[in-house]
Structure formats: structure tokens, C-alpha cells
Amino acid sequence: MCGITGFVGKGTREELENMAATLRHRGPDDEGYFYIPDKIGLGFRRLSIIALDTGNQPIFNEDKTVAVIFNGEIYNYRELRSKLEGRHRFITQTDTEVLVHLYEDEGEKMFEKLNGMFAIAIWDDRKKKLILARDRFGKKPLYYTLVRDTLIFGSELKAVLSHSLITRELDFESLNLYFTHECIPSPRTIFKGIFKVEPATYLVFENGNTKISFYYRHSAAFDKPNPCKTIDDCIRLLDEKIRDAVRFRLISDVPLGLFLSGGLDSSTVCYYAQELSTKPLNSFSIGFSEKDFDESREARLVANTIGSVHHEKIFNPAEVKYILPELSKLVDEPISDTAIIPTYYVSKFARESVTVALSGSGGDELFMGYQTFQANKFVRFIEAVPKAVLKKIISPVVNLLPTSFGKISTDYKVKRFFLGLGYKPEYRDVIWIGAFTPEEKRVLYSNEVLSKLGGVNDFGAVDRVLRGVEHLPLIDKIIYVYQKLYMMENILSFFDRASMAVSLEVRSPLLDYNVVDFANSLPHEFKMRGLTGKYILRKLMEKRLPPEIINAKKKGFNMPTAYWLRHDLKDLMLDILSEERIKKDG
């Protein structure tokens, strides 16, 4: 796992080194550069995971006409290498060198053959072109901008912002999307003119022009027929695919551990990892003193069942005061999922013992694990109620429910549910899990912001995602939006920032594209039976994990934020949101 950065066009060697220096937390072990004045600069920071002695980058082909820098892991690199060795000379044992020679043979079709998480930059000196590519689900970040014929890129915004050609200007349309989604969806960023390379795409910069192409269509699996005759057949197939995905991700030349929250997804990944390992693995979890949020007992139960060496810590709200300033420097642009804080905390805790960790990310989005999927089943009953009754009687009563501070409390769920009913079916889930409604945002914004936004589409990101999948049933559209927006743009983004802040590589077996495609091809009743989400995953694991884990309701990896803001963090909140400070900051 590493940090990459560079430019094609204007830039000095000193600038290149400064850009790479901003990514030191992503790669504290080594650095490497390739620089030709007024032509090309590639910078690299390394976190050593595989081939510890020979893995520094850039890595070149035999005649030095192709250079690659790369952040991530290619899990099928050995299989690819075996097919390339007859035609190419290898001098390292790295997955990076496989990319160099695969590009020589396949050109831009190479990305279709990769199984992994990656952000890749390839310089083709013969054709004088740069190629930037990102993995299918955007696990690894990659930013770019084009300024006066110079293309500048980096693993994080801070690297791009370090180039002297960059000017910082707030993008108000991105800001508006942030207040809807609590993150900024690709390809936009908070800065005007700076973009994210989208998941499953590659960008070619040649002769001063950029061209973006998709190499994988995430939506295609939804159109595939059910791959098995019965749910038992599907369970056997799911078992094979998860097992293979975990096996790939256990490859490491440094210590590897497990994130074990106590939920079904992480417990499933930990079960397979420990079963496939020849020795007990280290598992890590954090707990909270507030029982409603604490899953440490469940994590210990799973660890005892699978035989991992378990480590746990209790998260103290006082520590948030020290963590927030550090995280704000690292995330570069707004993201408001509070789970980034415990993720950072458990990553820092795990990094004391391991350099790589497996996580259960993706299970809820693949197998309909969120309570909003249940809410979508209730909608048809509510829609039978006359609108006048709903508006004049039911909604006012719902809004009178007293506020509580439990984890996704009943009053919150009911209020949010009725709030979402006023929107198109494709937008309801965004309202249910988001921050502000379009109407609330108009009250929040100053007149200056309102004038800049004009007639902006509050659901533009959703409409963009749904373009081309209009034919899918509504429930598939909802699943697809969760995967494309909430999972890729929010969860995977903050997981990367929180873990790489402490130089920890996190791998997500459930997001192997073979598992994702399989899950997306399954009929809905295999994923949600009645109101039970993740049905097929529960059936897969019912004889492998304790019943308390199989039958537990989803809790999520969240903090008791509302309670803390009323108590331990109240002074911090009042200081940050004071009228004086807001006026001063603009």
C-alpha cells in the first residue's frame, strides 16, 4: 500500500518531492522518483507489504519505455505473471512489475484482467501518454486536474494541491451534494476543477487531451439470470467465492490481522481467514461504555469461537478531541460519517501489531442488510393511506415524538421514514440516510451560496448513477445506488483515509468483484426473506458462528455522537459552531 503522485507538463523536481512528502503517512518505508524536466514527474511513497527488498517504485519495463507507480494490491498477480514470464524478463517478485509487462501485452485492456484494489499511473514514453486507472469499486483513491496543459494527479487531494499551478476555489455544487450525501460523489471534489478518477475507469492523457473510459460495468450483474437452481446451490457457490476471496487476501510478507466488530459481516470474514490460516490470527475490536453502541461482547464471542488471538480497547470520548484535528488534516475534503473516528482508532490500535487487516466492508450493500431495505417494504402499506390523512394527521403526530439519544432510535427512524415519503422512490433512501433535505438546505445556506447554486439538482448524483439502469426493478436500483454512492463514495473513502493515516492496509474480501457480481445476480428473496436482511449470508454461517451473531440486529460501527455532543463534547461543539467563529471563517 502506497501513495502516488505526479504530473505531465510543468513542474520542478522539488515540487514533485513536496507532493510525495504530503503522502508520507501512506508510505513511510521508502520513496522513489522519475523526473524529466518539463515532461514527466512520477513520485512514490511506499508501505512495504510484498517483496520487501525489491518493491520500490517506479518500476520499468526492459527498455525503460514504460514506467509504473501503483497504490494497492493485485491479488491475482502470480497467475498473471505465470502467463507473462515466457515473453518478459522479471527482476522483482512484485505485483507492480506484472502491471508493467501486462500493459506491454494488453494495453488499456489490462485493467479488465486485474483482481485487486488499486490506483495506477502508467507513463508510456513511446506514445508520450499517461494512463490513470482506479479499481472497480474505488477502494483506492486517485485525484487529478488539468491546468494549462499540465495534468497533475495524486492519491490524495493534498498532493495535487501542493503543485504551484493549483488555485483553490470552492465548488458550490459539490458543497450542495455534500449536504445531501455527507460525502462528495465522484467525479467531483470540493474544489472546482479538481476531480476524482471514477471507480472502474481509466483516464488517458495524450497530446494535451483527456479521455475517460470504463473497463467494467458494475450494473451488468443485475441483468444476469439466477446462477443456481436453489438457495442451497447458491449458498455453496457463495461459500466458494468468499473462501477464494479471503485466500487471495491472506497473501502478505508482513503481519496480518482481522477487524472484528462482532457483526455478521466482519465475523464471516474472520471465520474464513482463521480457517484458512495455519496459525492463530490477531483480531482487533473497540468497544464503548454506552451499551447501545457496544459490540465488544459479541466480538469476544466470535474470537473464542474461531480461535483468533483477540485484542480490544474501550473508546473514550475525551480522545475525540485529539483525533478530530488529526483527521481533519487527512481527509482533505468534507466527509461526515462519524464511523471514520472509531475506524481510525481501531486502525491505530491494530497497527501496533500488524501492517495489514481484513475487514467485512460491503456485506450490507450486497445482501440488503440496512434497515432501510425493510422500510421500503413498508412503503406500499403507507401509500394506501390518503395523502391528506398522511399530511394533516399522521406526519404532525410523528414529529411530536420525543427525541432520544440511543443508536438509531425508534423516534429517529419513524421521523425519517415519513420525511422520505415526500420524495420519488429512487430518492427516498438518500433522504432516510442523509443529512439535510433540499428544503432544509435552502434554510441553511446564506444568500451568497443560494445565488451561486441557482437551479441546481439536489439529486444530480443519484440521477447520474441511475443513468443506463432505468430498466431495472426499483429494489435493484436502490441496491445499486447504495453500492455506488454510500459504499464507494462514503464508506470505502473514509476507511482508506482512517487506515492509511496510520499506514495500515485494509483489505475487503466481500468486495472481490466475483463476490459482488454473484450477489448482484441473486434474486431479492435470497438476500431478504420477509424482513430478515442478509438471509443467504445468515444461512451460510448459521452452523459456523454463534446464534447470537446470526440472529442479531444490525448495529453499525457508530459512536454515541448525540449523547457525547450533549455532554463530553459539548464545549468543543459550541466553540466550533459559535456565531463569532462562523462569521470569522465565512
Active-site residues: which are they?
2
Cis peptide before 334 (omega within 30 of 0): no
Enumerate residues 6+ apart whose C-beta is below 8 A from 30: 45, 46, 48, 56
Cis peptide before 280 (omega within 30 of 0): no
138 to 110, 428, 513: CA distances (angstroms): 17, 24, 12
Torsion of the alpha carbons at 266, 272, 276 and 278, rounded to the nearest 10: 50
| Bridge partner list, 203 | 132, 212
| C-alpha R_g of the chain | 24
CB contact burial 207-239 (16+ within 10 A = b; e otherwise): eeeeeeeebbebbebbeeeeebeebeebbeebe
Beta strands 40-46; 309-315: pairing state: unpaired
How many angstroms separate the CA atoms of 349 and 343, rounded? 10
Take residue 325 and report the three cell numbers written for it: 484535528
Q: How many residues does the chain have?
A: 586
How many angstroms separate the CA atoms of 283 and 298, rounded? 13
**Helices within 146-263 (DSSP H only):** 157-161, 172-181, 231-249
Enumerate residues 6+ apart whose C-beta is below 8 A from 516: 136, 137, 218, 221, 362, 366, 483, 510
Contacts for 235-239: CB closer than 8 Å, 24+ residues apart: 235/536, 235/539, 235/540, 237/518, 238/515, 238/518, 238/519, 238/536, 238/537, 238/540, 239/540
Among residues 239, 273, 232, 234, the alpha carbon closest in space to that of 256 is found at 273
Q: What are phi and psi of 526, to 5 degrees?
A: -80, -25
Take residue 224 and report the three cell numbers written for it: 444476469
DSSP 97-143: HHHHHHHHHHGGGGGGG--EEEEEEEEETTTTEEEEEE-TT--S--E
